[in-house]
Copies of this chain bind each other. A is one copy, B any other.
């Protein structure tokens, strides 16, 4: 039933002017070219009545721009992580009148190539190359304007990166414990106490540990121990904690993420230990479960939404300039103070 789209020609005819004039008015350049106010109003009114909207495809062909950017990630669905990043990107894009293409590569380079091509063929103005968890990636060549989201370039690249500020997060977590009065009996769940004891390829693990060690070290506090696990799943948190409990009496646990913390809660509970009465727990990520756990988990939040926003902001800023600097933008990770940390028992 919907009648054919109204074109610029229709509009011009309805307003009794040439297509050029109509175009000038609609693109807002009527003013500077001193088109008569009378004519301008006539065109505007006709446009309103006919419901004229420029055909974006045509404009795209003509101008080479599409007011569209592509968001390609290795995985979108697992955990709500990507959801919030996309949401942030989406809102920032909307503020700029830009649409978002979305795609996922599943880590398959072949798929990635196809996806990038499909987007480039559609003349996207820019690309966001996102990763599910922070890591280094091989950046494809000949992508036009682009930013790396939650990822660092494996080899030198002039593409900017947007990543969570993990080492500052590590510092923050350590400070939470220090501020509560903890000085000993602090154990790590997910990584070993030494810098070498981290899951391979996880920049989050490495950087968080750096931050933790820095602050604790400065305060003259020694990390009592740690248990390294690779996948950071709840079961691993349980296992790590249970294992720890066989030999030690920890007063505080720094879990490298919330899933580990969930597991730790279980093991602690099984051992008849109270959180935070007997053992304080601080963690990372602020996964939704963090506020569902009992007691509610104090954790340093991954700023997914902000990361997404920042990505499009940087992308647009960069498109203005001639050449990117390969800057790394670190987005702060706020600590969510909840109920799992208390002063150590005396």
Task: List residues of chain A with CB under 8 Å of any chain B CB.
Answer: 1-2, 53-58, 60-61, 66, 68, 71, 76-80, 82-84, 86-87, 90, 94, 97, 99-104, 111, 117-119, 121-123, 142, 144, 234, 259, 262, 266, 288-289, 292, 294, 305
Decide: A90 and B76 in contact? CB cutoff 8 A: yes
Q: How far is the CB of A131 from chain B (nearest CB, A)?
A: 15
Docked Cα-Cα span, A166 to B234, in Å, equals 30
Decide: A58 and B61 in contact? CB cutoff 8 A: yes
Decide: A123 and B55 in contact? CB cutoff 8 A: yes
Q: How far is the CB of A289 from chain B (nearest CB, A)?
A: 6
| Contact among B55, B103, B294 with A99 in the assembled complex (CB-CB below 8 Å) | B103
Docked Cα-Cα span, A305 to B78, in Å, equals 11
Asked whether A56 and B122 contact (CB < 8 A) given A79-B80, A292-B234, the answer is: yes
Q: How far is the CB of A53 from chain B (nearest CB, A)?
A: 6
Decide: A54 and B121 in contact? CB cutoff 8 A: yes
Docked Cα-Cα span, A111 to B93, in Å, equals 13
| Contact among B55, B58, B82, B121 with A56 in the assembled complex (CB-CB below 8 Å) | B121
Q: How many copies does the complex hold?
A: 2
Chain B residues with CB under 8 A of A86 = 76-77, 102
Enumerate 11 A-B pairs (CB-CB under 8 Å) in ascending A order.
A2-B142, A57-B121, A68-B101, A68-B122, A77-B84, A77-B87, A77-B305, A79-B80, A79-B288, A102-B102, A234-B292
Decide: A87 and B99 in contact? CB cutoff 8 A: no
Decide: A77 and B68 in contact? CB cutoff 8 A: no
Docked Cα-Cα span, A289 to B78, in Å, equals 13
Decide: A99 and B122 in contact? CB cutoff 8 A: yes
Q: Known contacts A90-B103, A101-B102; can you find 17 more A-B pairs with CB under 8 A?
A: A2-B144, A55-B123, A57-B61, A57-B121, A57-B122, A57-B123, A61-B61, A68-B122, A76-B86, A76-B87, A76-B90, A77-B84, A94-B111, A97-B118, A99-B103, A100-B103, A289-B289
* A104 nearest CB neighbor, chain B only: B90
Docked Cα-Cα span, A103 to B90, in Å, equals 7
Q: How far is the CB of A156 from chain B (nearest CB, A)?
A: 15
Docked Cα-Cα span, A239 to B60, in Å, equals 56
Docked Cα-Cα span, A87 to B55, in Å, equals 29
Interface centre among A57, A76, A97 (most CB of B within 10 A): A57
Chain B residues with CB under 8 A of A294 = 266
- 10 nearest interchain CB pairs? A77-B87, A56-B121, A77-B83, A80-B80, A83-B83, A57-B60, A56-B122, A2-B142, A102-B102, A77-B84
